[in-house]
Every structure is written in C-alpha cells, then in structure tokens.
Chain A
Amino acid sequence: MEKKETRGQDGLTLEEAFARLEQVIEALESREISLEDSFRIYQEGMNLLKLCNDKIDRVEKKILVINGEGGLDEF
C-alpha cells in the first residue's frame, strides 16, 4: 500500500527513520562492533535524529477550510 507520509531527501519517512534508529542503537549497544564502526554508526544515528527533528516542523498553523474547487480559507 502506498504511504502518504512525506519522504525526506534521503528517502526515509519518519517511521522508517525511527525504525533505523532502533537498529543503530542496538548495534551501538552490542559488544561485537568495532570502534571504527561504532563511530560511523553513531554518526548515522545523529544524522537520523536530525532528520527526524527536521521532519517535525514546528510552525503553528491556522485551521483551513477547503471549498469545492479546492480553494483554501481560514476556518
């Protein structure tokens, strides 16, 4: 099924970014990973967090009313 959620430039939705973050953290918390990998993964995690943050836009919006022709007015 098609997802309506807007995708970022890297093609991830917020949900996918969250899912990837879970993986990243699991990898980071495992003992097998090398130091170099852990730095790389940490960097990826921080980028994902920034992506999530960017996706949650923090602008308050007026409630809009749409008419039959698709025109928008304030409610």
Chain B
Amino acid sequence: MQKVYSVGQINSYIKDMFDQDFVLSRIGIRGEVSNCKYHTSGHIYFSLKDESGSIACVMFAGARKGLAFRLINGQQVVVRGSVSVYERGGSYQMYARQIQLDGAGLLYERYLALKQELEDMGMFAAEYKRPLPFYVKRLGVVTAPTGAAIRDIINISTRRNPWIQIILYPALVQGQGAAESIAQGIRVLDRAGVDVMIIGRGGGSIEDLWAFNEEIVARAVFACRTPVISAVGHETDTTISDFVADLRAPTPSAAAELAVADVRGLLGQMELYRERMRRAMVRRTENLRQRLLGSQMRLSHASPGQRLNAGRQRLLELENRLQERMQANLREKRHHVLICAEKLRGLSPSAKLAAGYGFITDENGKRVYSAGQVRQQDLLTIYVADGLIRVRVEEAVPDGGSQYGKDRDGEDQYGEERDAGTGRADA
C-alpha cells in the first residue's frame, strides 16, 4: 500500500519544489491586470491574465516601492518577483516585487527606429539649427495650460523680463490626440509670430512623454520658422523633439532661462556702456585740457611781454643792488670820516696845547723842533694853551736819542695833518 500524507505535508513538499526552482524564484511575467484589489493592510491582490489563462498575484505592503503607479484593471504590465505556493489555499501565486507598465520596451524600439529614420533624413543636422534671438519680446509656449511646466515657464520668464509677452497654446500633452495637438500648437504660434517657442511638459513616464516622440511633432518642429526650444520631462528624458528642436533644454524652467534675456543684466550692461563712454570722454577732454594748459604756460613763458617783464625784473634787481652797494659805500666812507675825525681830534695842536704841551717858534715864527736849530741867546716864543711865553735860550744841547724825536717818527703817517695843524696854529 502506498504511503499516505497529510495535506500540510503535500503542500509543504510542493512549496519546497517551487522555492528550489531557479526560474520560479526570480521571474517576470507579462499580462493584463484584473481583479485588482488594494487591501487596507497595504497589500495588493490582483490577477494577471492573457488569452490562455490567469495567475493570482499579490504585492505585499513591504514591496510597494516596486510600484510607481496606481494599478488598475486592464493595464498591460510586467510583474517581477517569484512564484510560490500559498499553503493554506493549496494554490500557487505570484509574489510581486516590482510592477512596470508594459510597452516600454516596445515603445523604446519604436523610438529608436523613428530617431534613426529622422536622423537619416537630416532633421537633426546642425545646419538647420536656428540661433535663439538675443532679446525675446514675444515668447510662444506649447504645453498643457495646467501643470508645473507652464507655471515654471511663466515664473522664470517674467522674473528675467517682467515685460515679456507670453502666448500659450494650450495643448494636450499626453494621451489620445496629444501629438496632433502639439503639432497644431507649433503651427498656430509660428503663424501668429513669436520670437521663440518653447514646447514641452513636466516629467512623467515614457508613455506620458510619448507624444514628443511622434513623427508628426518632429515634422512640425522641423517646419517651424520660429526657433524652437524643446523641454520635455526631466534632464534624463530625451525625446525626438529634443533632437529636432533648435535647442534642447533639460527642463521647462531651463528653457525659459535660455529663451528669455535677463533684462536687468541688459539694462546693467547699458549703464556700464554709458559710464564707460562718459569716462572715456571725460578722460579725453581732461587730457586735452591739461595739454592746453601746458601749451598756454609754455606760450606765455616765450612771449615778448614775458621777456620784457623778465628784463624789467632783472633791471630792478640790478638797480636794487646798485642802491645797496652805494648805500654801503656811503656808510663805509662816513664811518671812515668819523674815524679820521676822531684821529684828527687826537692830533689837533690846540688839543695838545690844552693838554699842557707847548709850541715853540724862533724869532721868524719858524717852528723849532730840534736843539740844533737854536743857539745861545736866541729869542724863542712858546705858545701854550692860554697865551705865549717869550724866552731866551740859555743853552742848546743836541741829543740824538731824545724821547721827543722817537715820538715824532711814530707820528710820521700823520705828517700832512700835522702840517695842516701847524698851519692852523701859525694862523
């Protein structure tokens, strides 16, 4: 008789078989979501089905970070996880760790094919890229009228230039008809006349951004006469419109930065220009003024009037020096005269008489200054200060070394004055 097992033993045995299976423990399953239930516990229960059948699935609350969107019935998804056995029900099911919308792979293949095709046609070529205008007055925007993209563009644009005219074409940017709506917006704004155009939208899944990968949008961008900036999704998202556009911006905000000139910067630059021109002119005129002053100075130095003045000046100086010299000479002479007068006073015979000396003459009135001039019994006259004395010579004794003779020699330099004095005394 065969061995009999309990339900638990069998379920456990089958579970072990599943869990040991290399493929089942790490597997991805493609299918359509059905019977989807979000449980209050946070677990999600659903089934995956295709034409041939279905498989039960669960995503536990702890694995929810593997799901980036809301799961709804009918979605084509790829579920990754493991297939194992739920022993209590005796059923097997998929334990989901990650759920992605399907089609990404398919879409990516389409994206690559179209990109290659358009590139081969030359639609991405650099020579078709128009430069952005330096200063934009009218900015066209093709995006959804609600959403972050248009708000960001308005905020950045008006912050950089508060006087900019923004014209929005409210486009459908995802879902049915989005590509046609965007292409239409590009054509309408191109006809209306704007300086530059931003087309784009905020971030999203590849499906959300898909309209910007459609050929109709690419062709509208290529045909547009207005320079186009493409700003779709986030920095990491690249769409076909990014390649066709004249410029690619990583985000709508960045597109506004690129499109709209910072008007304060421009005004500041103009102020700078004005100041530089003013300084250059001031420097030039100041320079010329200095040169003029220098020339004036040199001219006036060289003028005949100036020479005349210089001559006058020199004349005046010479005159002054002459005057001074004359005055000095006069002073010296006067002083000399005074000295002489003083000396004369010392030599005056009358002063000598007053000091007690006498002046002796013979009978003929001739001055007697030597013992050899007289003989015995000669009558001499001695003049003294207050009169004269007549005397008769008793004896004359010549003596060469007499004191009187020496005195007379010492006063020889004053001989002239002495004679004058004598003359006066004689009179």
| Interface set of A (CB-CB < 8 Å, partner B) | 1-6, 13-15, 18, 21-22, 24-25, 28-29, 35, 38, 42, 45-46, 49, 52-53, 55-61, 63-68, 70, 72, 75
Label chain A's interface by main secondary structure. Answer: mixed
- Interface residue ranges of B250-265 to A (CB < 8 Å): 263
Given A61-B165, A66-B168: A56 touches B134 (CB 8 Å cut-off): no
Residues in A whose Cβ lies below 8 Å from that of B162: 60
Residues from chain A with Cβ under 8 Å of B56 in the complex: none
Q: A4-B226, A14-B135, A68-B188 are in contact. Are A35 and B284 (CB under 8 A)?
A: yes
- With A2-B130, A18-B269 given, can you name 14 additional A-B contacts, CB distance below 8 Å? A15-B133, A18-B134, A18-B266, A21-B273, A28-B276, A28-B280, A38-B284, A42-B280, A56-B135, A65-B168, A65-B169, A67-B188, A68-B188, A70-B188
Chain B 133-164, CB within 8 Å of chain A: the 1/0 string? Answer: 11111001000010000000010000000111
Main secondary structure of the interface of B (DSSP, over half): mixed
- Chain B interface size range: 35 or more
Nearest 10 CB-CB pairs, A to B?
Answer: A15-B134, A5-B133, A28-B280, A14-B135, A61-B165, A1-B130, A63-B166, A45-B277, A4-B195, A64-B167
Q: How far is the CA of A29 from the CA of B154 in the complex (A)?
A: 41
**What CA separation (Å) do A58 and B263 show in the bound complex?**
10
Contact A72 B167 (CB under 8 A): yes
A64 to B280, CA, bound (A): 45
Q: Does B112 contact A (CB under 8 A)?
A: no
Contacts of B164 in A (CB 8 A): 61
Q: How far is the CA of A65 from the CA of B196 in the complex (A)?
A: 16
**CB of A67 to closest CB in B, whole Å:** 8
Contact present for A5 and B280 (CB under 8 Å): no
**How distant is B363 from chain A, measured CB to nearest CB, in Å?**
112
Closest to A72 in B: B167
Tell me whether B182 is interfacial, beta carbon within 8 Å: no
Residues of B close to A56: CB separation below 8 A: 135, 163, 263, 266-267
Cβ–Cβ contact A5 & B167, under 8 A: no
Q: Which residues of B contact A57 (CB under 8 A)?
A: 137, 163
19 A-B pairs with CB atoms under 8 Å apart are A1-B131, A4-B225, A4-B226, A13-B133, A14-B134, A25-B276, A42-B281, A46-B277, A56-B263, A56-B266, A60-B162, A63-B167, A64-B165, A64-B166, A64-B168, A65-B167, A65-B169, A66-B169, A66-B189
